[in-house]
Structure 1
Amino acid sequence: MPSIKTKIQSIPVLFVLLAIVWGSSFVAIEVGLERVPPLLFAALRYDVAGVVVLAYAALTYERWLPRGRADWVPIALGGVLLIAAFHALLYLGQGSVSGAVAAVVISLVPLLTAVFDHTLLGERRLDPVGGAGFGFGIVGVAVVASPTPGAVGSESLFGVGLVFLAAVAFGLGSVITRSSTSTLPVVAQQGWTMLFGSAVLHAASVVRGEPFVAGAWTPSVLVAFVYLALGSGVLGFLLYFELLGRVGPSDLNLVNYVTPVVAAVVSWAVLGQVIDATTVAGFAVVFVGFALLKRDVVRCLLRSRWAVADC
């Protein structure tokens, strides 16, 4: 058994590893979308990830099959919002914007989650500083989108809008599913959620008329797909819930502010893309918004420096 000190010291390592896995996934999505239709690509990704996670749950836990409404409702809600809606909107949006830009917009998730916590779960009302923080977040996305009068109908602006809606779907889904009364182990629940979401994505792909073309699966696309399914999907999931049990959801949400940095670096290294000053400025404004809205969490982290003890 590792000592408490060892566990504390490993938290930053796991945090950085999760940021690397999730941040680089935006670039992998961009590579795959060059040849494979977006909804089909997302659906197949979660077919594989869901099967692997569910197989792990079946081998690890005595109970892994859902029983009744209490188990199936959060699976369905999570499948629709956290898997299907989030990834459909994200992948469609990344057809028009780079992975680095998408990562900046997705960094709004912690801020949106906090706002939904306040409005849907009856937490304390937003004070003026918190309201200003939310406003900063919206302004940050607007800066990233750069909506000039001549570009209001541009493809890139439309892409940013889709990615923003993806962040809304994820924030809403995370709040709604948090009040779940399911007794199913979290690994099994997540595996079923992935498969439920992939089924919705497959249905949407069929409605959209997306074809499966074997020739589209080049070596680079296959590498991106395997990385998304097993790296970002399975390994990222395991890292996330390991950290969730150690630092809690508020602290862990800060990983969303490291992933854009990772996405920018990987985009430059793999695709030769250089992030512009406008995107960097927008990300900085989004981060200021979160810092204002969740200033108690930020203050706590600065004082504790990742200690396990609660602030």
Structure 2
Amino acid sequence: MSPRHLMLAVGLAVVWGVNFVVIEVGLGHFPPLLFSALRFLVAAVPAIFFLRSPGVPWRWVALVALTLGVLKFGLLFTGMAAGMPAGLSSLVLQTQAVFTAVFAVVLLRERLSRQQVAGLVVALGGVGLIAFDLGATSPIGAFVLILGAAAMWGVSNVAMRRAAPPDTLRFMVWVSALATLPLFALSAIVEGPQRGWDALRTVTLPAAGAVLYVGIVATVVGFGVWGYLIRSYSASTVAPFSLLVPVFGMAASALLLDERLTPTRLLAAVLIIIGVLAGVVRGRTPAGRAHRPSDTPVSIPTGHTPSRGRQRLPRPSPRSRFLARSGRSRR
């Protein structure tokens, strides 16, 4: 991975780490499903009126909208509203790296090196340390919801890798548009229209700022960058960078929410960084071919190999075939 893309991946982890603090602010005013719907509404409007179609089959846009927009964020916001702390949510959500690697091996036929597997284990060890330090004080139902959100994020990572949209920002705007109406419908059914109307009628400046941050910065910009990295490198190489999110999430919580940083959490942060670096090494590409997705075709799960991945030998001319037969007859 180039230094520029490395900085991009780390910067994205900072944005998403702070995002969990912002989500807590938003959930203090909005119901979770309504908050998620507003997130994608802000991400889609007004950009959708100035952008062309996503440039990929609509089935891929719909799949990512369902798994990432409706399921991942619906489960995440509902789990946090049900009592899962912001720091612990950012931690458990990063198990998506494991789900992504498994789905990439099964569906995309990517291969993990021993170093990548070892790095992933070390990083997850750091994640486990943070979970142990926080303690199991949250409701088990809320924990399961966050774990489900992580699995849906893993599915969406692989779907974006397979879709390979030419413009990830445009793709994410259309994903946001398709996710908005289902989330509003779920909010009306589950949370009730009156509760949503009361939240909109009494909206505060911090709540509005939270919607703008999670909608524009974390969703459009964040997942646009994430999709670009997933397309440029293997999914199993990019996914471990999300393990940096709880590190920056804990730091943001300490600065903004006065959360205490213990020695155990600092040790866990070191393990996570080491694990991420170990997983990045295999993402390097040969000189002259760096960051061109067309040079690394994705295997199709059905077993069909794309024709651009094959090298065909030139067909012999009629004269060469005649000479070959003549040589055999002389022998």
The TM-score by the shorter chain falls in which range? 0.7 to 0.9
Per the TM alignment, residue 278 of structure 1 is displaced from its structure 2 partner at its CA by 6.6
Give aligned-pair identity as a percent.
26
Q: Which of 207, 211, 229 is the aligned partner of 2:189?
A: 207
Larger Rg: 1 or 2?
A: 2
Contact 2:243 2:272 in 1 (8 A): no
Query: CA offsets, 1:122-163, max 9 Å, x none?
Result: 455x899988988888887776655xxxx98x6443322211
Partner of 1:34: 28
Partner of 1:158: 141
Contact 1:84 1:201 in 2 (8 A): yes
Distance 1:140 1:9 in 2: 24
Closer, same or farther: CA 231–65 of 1 in aligned 2, 3 Å: closer
The residue identity in structure 1 corresponding to 2:162 is S
Partner of 1:117: 104
Q: 1:91-102 to 2 correspondence within 5 Å? A: 91-95=77-81, 96-102=83-89
Distance 1:251 1:112 in 2: 13
What RMSD, in angstroms, separates the aligned Cα atoms of the two structures? 3.8
Per the TM alignment, residue 79 of structure 1 is displaced from its structure 2 partner at its CA by 0.9
Closer, same or farther: CA 203–134 of 1 in aligned 2, 3 Å: farther
User: TM-score, length-normalised on structure 1?
Assistant: 0.73
1:85 and 2:71 correspond:
yes
Q: Which of 169, 194, 201 is the aligned partner of 2:176?
A: 194
Distance 2:122 2:130 in 1: 12
2:45 partner SS: helix
Q: For structure 1, which segment, 8-17 or 280-289, has the greater mean C-alpha deviation from structure 2 after superposition?
A: 280-289
Partner of 2:295: none
Contact 1:42 1:87 in 2 (8 A): yes
Partner of 2:317: none
Q: Which of 96, 103, 109 is the aligned partner of 2:90?
A: 103
Distance 1:255 1:53 in 2: 28
Per the TM alignment, residue 88 of structure 1 is displaced from its structure 2 partner at its CA by 0.8
Closer, same or farther: CA 288–199 of 1 in aligned 2, 3 Å: farther
Contact 2:168 2:228 in 1 (8 A): no
1:225 partner SS: helix
Closer, same or farther: CA 276–244 of 1 in aligned 2, 3 Å: same
1:178 and 2:172 correspond:
no
2:155 partner SS: helix
User: TM-score, length-normalised on structure 2?
Assistant: 0.69
1:16 and 2:2 correspond:
no
Distance 2:236 2:105 in 1: 14
Query: CA offsets, 1:5-60, max 9 Å, x none?
Result: xx9543343233212211111111111111210010011110110225534534xx
The residue identity in structure 2 corresponding to 1:91 is F
Alignment gaps of 5+ in structure 2: 292-331
Closer, same or farther: CA 38–107 of 1 in aligned 2, 3 Å: same
Distance 1:47 1:259 in 2: 24
Contact 2:172 2:220 in 1 (8 A): no
Contact 1:264 1:275 in 2 (8 A): yes
